[in-house]
Structure formats: C-alpha cells, structure tokens
Amino acid sequence: MSKIRNGEAIGALRADGTRGRLLRGLLTGAGVGVFLFLIFRMGWRTILDNIAHFGGWFAVILLVQMGWVALQAASWYIVQNSVSQRAPFLFFVRIKIISDTMNTVLPTANLGGDAMRAYLIKPRIPLKEGVAGILVDKTVESIAGTFFMACGILITILFFPMPRQLMTAALICLPVLLAAIALLIFFQFRGFYRSAMSVFGWIPALRRLLLKKEDLLRILDENLRRLYLQGGAMVPLAVGLHFLARLVGVLEVLIVLRVLHQPVGFLGSWFISAAVTMANTVLFIVPGHWGVQEGMYVLVLKTMYFSGSAGLSLAVIRRIRRVFLLGFGLWLLHLEKGVPDHGPVAPGAAG
C-alpha cells in the first residue's frame, strides 16, 4: 500500500510539473504574441528607427543599470555582514548580477534568483546564515519597492491622469502588498518554525517534515532575530539603498525618453516606472513580463499624451539592455561553476 501511495504521489507531482510547464509555455506565448502585435500595430519601422537613433546611449544605460545593481548589492552586503564579516562587497555584486539573470528567465516573482543566491553563497557563507540574510534583504527590498509605488500613486494623483480602472487596481494592489510585507515580518519575528507548526501542524505529513527540519528552522529563526536585533541601523539603511536603486531606474527611463525627444521630467519618469512596476508585480506569473510591461509602457505614455510608439520604443530599448546584462550574468554563472569551495570566510576576514 505504501509503495502504491508513493507512486501516486510521484505521479501527481509529475502531472503538476507538466501542467506548470504547459501554463508557463502558454503565458510566454501569449506575452510574446502581445509584444509582436504591439510592434506591428505601432509600426516596426518607427521602433527600429528609434533604436538606431538611441545608438551609443546603450552604453550609458548599461552603466546606469550597473548602478542599480551596485546599490542593491550594497544593501545585501550590509544586511549579511551586519553581525559577522563573511564576504567582500564585489562578491555580493557578482552574485546579485547572476540572481537577476535568473529572475529574468524564471516566472517566480524573483524567488528563482533568490534561490540561486542561497546556492551560490555557500562557498563563503554558511547556508543557515545566508538564507537569513537573503530573507531580510528581500523584506527590505519589498518595503522599499512598496514605498516607491506609493510615491508613484501620489505623484499620479497630484500631476498625471490615469484611467479609473488602473487607479483602482493600484489602490487595491498597494494595501495587499503592505499586508503581505507585514505578515512576512511577523513570521520572521515570531519564528518560521513556530508559525509553520501553528498553521500546518495539523497535517500529519507536513508536521513530520517540520519536526524533521526543526533544528535547521530554529537556527534560521535565531539568525533572523540576530540580524534584526543586532544590526543597528542596518534595516533603514538597507531600505534606503533599495529605494535609491529604484530612483536609478527612474533615471534610466528619463534618459531613454529624452534621447527619443520625449520631454518627460523626473516626476513623469517616476510615474511611468511605478505604473510598470505595479503591473509587473500583479502579473508576476508571466515569464519575463513579456507583453505586460510593453503594454503598460504604451498605455501610460498615451495617458501622458505621448505616442504609443514612444512607450513601446522605451520598452524595447530596456529589453535590449536586459539582454546584454543577461549575457553578462550567464557568463558570470559559467565562471562561478569553476570557483573552488574554500569554505566560509572567518568573521572579520572579509573587506
């Protein structure tokens, strides 16, 4: 009987995996279809002309994007090393580029890249410490992102028109995100083991799994508490760095539109960035946000009385920039596989 049940369970998992791949394939196909439709609707010659006109400015926005990555890596560096020095800053920059590469290709709301982070830091940072640092960094990133979107909504209300349906969706999305962040912080302070036992302990199979992993989960909970309680000003500083990274993204939008002769100011670029961020957050399940962010760029630029082709050109230029960084990230991942495991760095040894 046990063998039969195990076989049924494995078969169910395989079926779920097949359905998941099918769903991702359908969503990707639909997203790419929307993307191609927009290109032909807006005029592919116009888009190509805009890309050609942008020319050498691609090097500028690549540098701007590296500033975004450096700020995010600095936040993670501060969080992870707030209790004990484990790794140098450039180590976190390298791993962050690789994790962003994974987030580009995986429809997992950035969780795929964070899982890769946990895997790649093991040669220098024990997993029980590394996972805690990644969770805290992910939390402060979510706080900064939500604050960024809230500011974007305020800018919209004060200065820019937006269709009522989109504003309603934004006003619903924001409190949901705040509630999710509050719940995540509550679980971290209460302890994941204790919380999981309270919620899932009544299910025999999950209870056995939690009891089996009890020691590991309690160590994780203790490391989380140490990071929050002994980190001093670490949390607000990390939130500030992530918020600055978002503003660097606003700068990229400003540069692209100015080069394309679209007179958009910094607040307008913030409005555009916040609107697209909210759309990407709500529709995270679409792999690579294909079709989602392109459609949102077109819609938002039209609400600002600019041409839809300008919005689509902005989206395509950012896609091209992402392809360059994707290639760089895959190259770094290839190099990372050849890095020997020297074991964790002793506290205080990293600069």
Residue 174 vs residue 163, higher pLDDT: 174
- Percent of the chain scored above 90 by pLDDT? 18
Question: What is the tens place of the pLDDT at every residue in 311-334?
Answer: 888 988 988 898 888 888 888 888
When computed from its CA atoms, the radius of gyration of the chain, rounded to whole angstroms, is: 22
Q: What is the rounded CA–CA span in Å between residue 288 and residue 293?
A: 9
Judge whether residue 343 has pLDDT over 90. Answer: no
C-alpha of 342 from chain center: 29
Residue 252 vs residue 39, higher pLDDT: 252
Residue 206 vs residue 98, higher pLDDT: 98
Mean local confidence (pLDDT), 241-257: 95
Q: Judge residue 323's burial from the number of C-beta atoms within 10 Å of its C-beta, 0-12 exposed, 13-18 middle, 19 or more buried.
A: exposed
Predicted local distance difference test score (pLDDT) of residue 224: 78
Question: What is the tens place of the pLDDT at every residue in 30-69?
Answer: 656 666 666 677 767 778 888 888 888 899 999 999 999 9
Which pLDDT band, with edges at 50, 70 and 90, does 23 fall under? Answer: low
Question: In sequence order, what are the residues at sequence separation of 6 or more whose Cβ sits closer than 8 angstroms to the Cβ of residue 166?
Answer: 275, 299
Most confident of 40-54, 80-94, 282-296: 80-94
Phi, psi of 30 (to 5 degrees): -65, -45
Both structure tokens of 328: 């760089």
Judge whether residue 131 has pLDDT over 80. Answer: yes
* DSSP-based three-state secondary structure for 191: coil
Judge whether residue 241 has pLDDT over 70. Answer: yes
Predicted local distance difference test score (pLDDT) of residue 72: 95
Judge whether residue 348 has pLDDT over 50. Answer: no
Question: Per 3-state DSSP, what percentage of the chain is helix, strand, and coil (rounded to 5)?
Answer: 80, 0, 20
Mean local confidence (pLDDT), 282-305: 75
Q: What is the rounded CA–CA span in Å between residue 229 and residue 83?
A: 10
Predicted local distance difference test score (pLDDT) of residue 64: 94
Instruction: Looking at 203-265, list the stretches that DSSP marks H as alpha helix, in order from N- to C-terminal side.
Output: 204-212, 214-230, 234-259
Does pTM top 0.85 for this prediction? no
Quote the mean pLDDT of the chain.
79
Q: Judge residue 55's burial from the number of C-beta atoms within 10 Å of its C-beta, 0-12 exposed, 13-18 middle, 19 or more buried.
A: exposed
- The answer to whether the beta carbons of residues 345 and 124 sit under 8 Å apart is yes
Predicted local distance difference test score (pLDDT) of residue 315: 87
Predicted local distance difference test score (pLDDT) of residue 179: 87
CB atoms within 10 A of CB 178: 15
Q: What is the rounded CA–CA span in Å between residue 77 and residue 124?
A: 13
Judge whether residue 244 has pLDDT over 70. Answer: yes
Q: What is the rounded CA–CA span in Å between residue 290 and residue 9?
A: 33
Most confident of 5-9, 18-22, 294-298: 294-298
Mean local confidence (pLDDT), 186-195: 79
Q: What is the rounded CA–CA span in Å between residue 150 and residue 44?
A: 35
- The answer to whether the beta carbons of residues 254 and 266 sit under 8 Å apart is yes
Predicted local distance difference test score (pLDDT) of residue 85: 65
Candidates 116, 243, 173, 75; CA nearest to 181 is: 173
- The answer to whether the beta carbons of residues 326 and 101 sit under 8 Å apart is yes
